[in-house]
Amino acid sequence: MGNTFINALIDMNRLDHVGVKQWLFYPGMLFRSSSSWWGTGRPRNFTHEGLDLCFFETNDAKRFRLDSSTRIPVTQPGKILYIIDDFIGKTIIWEPICNSRKSIPICVLYAHVTPENRLKAGDAFSGGEPIARVAPVDPERTPLPPHLHLSVMVKAALPFSDRIEWKYLNHMDRSAFLDPAPLAGIDALNMGMIDFAGNVNVCDDYPVYPVIEMEN
Ligand SMILES: [Zn+2]
């Protein structure tokens, strides 16, 4: 399986304890989707700039969701470029340090998260550690469960720092965004689709996975 983001997420949050068979996606959670996966599923204003990660199915066919206890790892050395607000929590924009010379330099966005204490732009990390948790959602304000939005961008497409905000990113040429699924280690083997049939009742349909106290 290798050291993929999704395996690191499973390890770090002890999801192996319940057993992850596959990650579940409504069509509106996928990269470049033009539909939403909340409310009535109306069209998005902009095609989706990334992949939303929230639901998974266990080997014994139970369904769970992530929540604000879920820790989010980095799997390689990198550097924090920016931390900006989004409509649920914060977005961390970071750059892998070993951007391969053979491929175009990229940066990664973890959106709707709560950054670890004191994390700030310019910080470097070695990989393997958590840098954030999934941000909590105020159900009165946002008809969505807590989830992680992953985006991968062509680094050269990043605007100057004073323009880094989602309002700007939403309007960027879509070629600035790459499919995050391969980078995260999500593919046909660990991914399942679910039909969207109106409001998702996340509390009943997808309880939060049982959290196991971490050993230190
Ligand atoms: Zn999203």
What percent of the chain has pLDDT above 70?
A: 95
Whether residue 109 is contained in a domain is answered as: yes
What is the Cα Rg of the chain in Å? 17
What would the pLDDT profile of 151-180 be if each residue is shown by its tens digit?
999 999 998 887 899 999 999 999 999 999
Cα 150 to ligand 1 centre (Å) = 7
User: What is the reported pTM?
Assistant: 0.94
Closest C-alpha to 92, from 60, 59, 129, 57: 129
- Residue pair 77/127 in contact (Cβ under 8 Å)? The answer is yes
Whether residue 215 is contained in a domain is answered as: no
Whether residue 13 is contained in a domain is answered as: yes
For residue 1, is pLDDT > 50? no
What would the pLDDT profile of 193-208 be if each residue is shown by its tens digit?
999 888 777 777 889 9
* Number of domains present in the structure of the chain: 1
Cα 51 to ligand 1 centre (Å) = 6
The CATH number linked to 173 is 2.70.70.10
Cα atoms in the 13 Å half-sphere on the side-chain side of 1: 13
- Residue pair 106/98 in contact (Cβ under 8 Å)? The answer is no
Residues, CB within 5 angstroms of ligand 1 (ion): 52, 149
Cα 10 to ligand 1 centre (Å) = 20
Whether residue 105 is contained in a domain is answered as: yes
Whether residue 213 is contained in a domain is answered as: no
